[in-house]
Amino acid sequence: MSRISITGTGAVSSAGWGVEALMVALERGVRPEASSLSRERKNGDLVVTPVLKAPAAPPTLPKSPRLRRVSPISKFSVAAAIEALGEDRIAKVAAGELRLGVICTLLNGCVNYSNRFFGEVLADPSVASPILFPETVFNAPSSHLSALFGSTAPNDTLLGDGAEIFTGLEIATEWLLRGDCDAVLVVAAEELDWLSAEALALYSRNITPSEGAAAILLEIASGGPQLLAVPDPVALPPGADRAMALRQACGATGVRDDGRTLLSDSRTGAARYDRSEDDALAGWSGPQLSPKKILGESFAAAAGLQLVAAVEWVKSGKADQALVAVLGGNEQAAACLIGSGS
């Protein structure tokens, strides 16, 4: 029977660049220092929103022409992808020895360049230029990744709520089992934007917007953490019982709360916002992680960071298995089960 292994992980978060920075922050339980986004208004004071930004990009980021005019989300995606792949696989992809599929999952996408482009055009229509157009489309990060690595295997971008990465895992599994790729890189990424940051405050002032990226590399292999189950997400139609939907998604993984299974959940720390998830996951006896409580709400990227953290826990032997559960904003509840592979 084919086994889908998670053979690499990468991360960029408000805690720093790299998986190690992510895990140190979660282990210490200390939230990174907050900063702010400011928006000017023609008539009135500045609108200032507290946020958790990713630190400045390290000098090790490739100096590729592909990255010269990119939005921050593409830089986050590239850094996480490079960490997940490693030098040997990157070389094999470039040499045509490894067929690498790429799937990016987003909610907001390349909003910084889109705002810049449309802002300039609205202020002065004569400056409209196709030069900026590639950065105004959602598939920019995925296309940058394939171009940077020289991959000609399938490439896709999925748009959805915070649980969309689970659909990405499903598609990646299908590609591998069908023989379309030798490995699939699933990346979830977001960049900060004043519009989504201010909109989040309408739900709760206790949720801090953030940004970053997470990368999961999947291959058919026998070693390493295994993707044991990734059932279809449960839809969230208007008026849905959100707690029941999440319980259904978790139950479909076949998980057993045996005290040695990690629960990596999507709770934010805001009581009203977390009520359905508290109800659905009440009584869990194993260890628990709630990365958003430390790293902030990075929308699509947040679920990816949950996955990376869960994989690292299983790799370290702190848990035999990990259930990753995400209650999306308005589309779906989803979960997957990761095992040690032993």
Q: Where in the chain is the domain with CATH 3.40.47.10?
A: 4-220, 226-339
Q: Note the CATH number of domain 226-339.
A: 3.40.47.10
Residues 232-265 have pLDDT tens digits of: 999 999 999 999 999 999 999 999 999 999 999 9
Q: How many angstroms separate the CA atoms of 323 and 335, rounded?
A: 7
Q: Examine the pLDDT at 83 and tell me if it is beyond 50.
A: yes
SS3 content of the chain, % helix, strand, coil (to 5): 40, 25, 35
Residues 190-225 have pLDDT tens digits of: 999 888 899 998 888 899 999 999 999 999 987 889
Q: What is the mean pLDDT of residues 267-284?
A: 95
CATH 3.40.47.10 fits domain 4-220: yes
Q: Give the global pTM.
A: 0.93
